[in-house]
Homo-oligomer: A and B are copies of this chain.
Amino acid sequence: MAGPSGSRGGAPAGEGRPRAARPTSRDVASRAGVSQATVSLVLGDKWRGRVSERTAEAVRSAAQELGYRPNLAARSLRLGRTRTALLVVPALTNEYFARVHAGASQVAADNGFGVVLYPSPEGVGPARGPFDSARAALDGVIASSMAARALTALRGGGLPLVMLDSDPEDTDAAATVNLDIAGGMRETARHLLALGHRRFLHLASAVDSWTFRKRARALREAVGAVPGTELSTVTAALGVDEARRSAEGALRASGRRPTAVVCDDDILAAGACKAARRLGLAVPEDLSVTGFDDLALATAVEPELTTVRLPAEQVGAQGMSALLSVLDGRPVATADLPVELVVRGSTAAPGVR
């Protein structure tokens, strides 16, 4: 690059500046010998009968040669839309949400949209940082109901909102994307009941969120429907170690030990397995353990976890699709996404040993 005299000798006044500036639609126009408006029409695919094929082709090749890319800021200013959506999640370090993001990004990219994240850091009081600064440049928001703190800050944002994993009744969202959580938990219970388990421990997440409430309820109903069953519950804070501690306490507690531990997610299940080991219980011979989510973790531990696979990418993708529909004024069809019980090595019939 940096030719001796420059191929872009436009410089109307003196201006010997090298100017590696990005070409604008006007540059394309002058190269194609048309007006800037025509460039905009052609490149915006709005020329069907207003511009000849010949001219359109000239514009396109001029744009190509110059490597023209429209200036998004200018476009956004003009249109009042930014083609950017905000994705609000608790934390990307949770593999589930990383996958949700991947799904949403894919659909967004396919539609010329961008995604900006608000990972809802813990200690934040009023909305700050990415959210606040991005707010001015957003077309819509996709939010997980688990990002509770950030949600309150979203009120009054005036932006179209799509909720993920959220109670459809509870929200003023334009659309909701949900998983068949209850179905997944029912399958889990059926599986364990079929193996012969009757005494259950529910290792529940301490996070207060719709999806966890739903898991608890579905489990209670499924187990309660069978006579002669018992179900106790213990909650655990985030992290494998916290889970282990809670599970260990609960398992050590009473005389009639449960034969199966149903966990709200795979992290908790990993903790339950560690608790069992500490108590000298073998999984699954002495104690069956089930997870939820089917993270990579589920096949990294030993034994591999029986768990419920969630189509996380699909959640993100559907969320973005729904948002795009809302923005276009199209109706959104929502249905619970199916989940799947994956039976692995952490469950077996009780009393094998």
Contacts and interface: CB of A to CB of B under 8 A. Distances in A.
Contact of A116 (B116, B128, B299): B116
A301 B106 CA distance: 32
A43 interface: no
Interface in A187-220: none
A161 B212 CA distance: 42
Contacts of A121: 102, 106
A99 B168 CA distance: 32
A20 interface: yes
A31 to B, nearest CB: 19
Interface stretch (A49-57, A133-141, A249-257): A133-141
B114 A130 contact: yes
Contacts of A136: 22, 69-73
Interface string A99-132: 1011001101110111111010100000011101
B77 A73 contact: yes
Contacts of A101: 92, 117, 119
| Interface bin, chain A | 35 or more
A109 B73 CA distance: 20
Contacts of A72: 73, 133-134, 136-137
Given A72-B136, A114-B134, A296-B297, 18 more contacts: A1-B168, A1-B174, A8-B174, A22-B136, A71-B77, A71-B136, A72-B134, A73-B76, A83-B133, A93-B99, A105-B117, A106-B121, A109-B129, A115-B130, A277-B302, A297-B297, A297-B300, A301-B301
Interface of A: 1, 7-8, 10, 20, 22, 69-74, 76-77, 82-83, 91-93, 95, 98-99, 101-102, 105-106, 108-110, 112-117, 119, 121, 128-130, 132-137, 158, 160, 168, 172-175, 239-241, 267, 270-271, 273-274, 277, 296-297, 299-302, 329
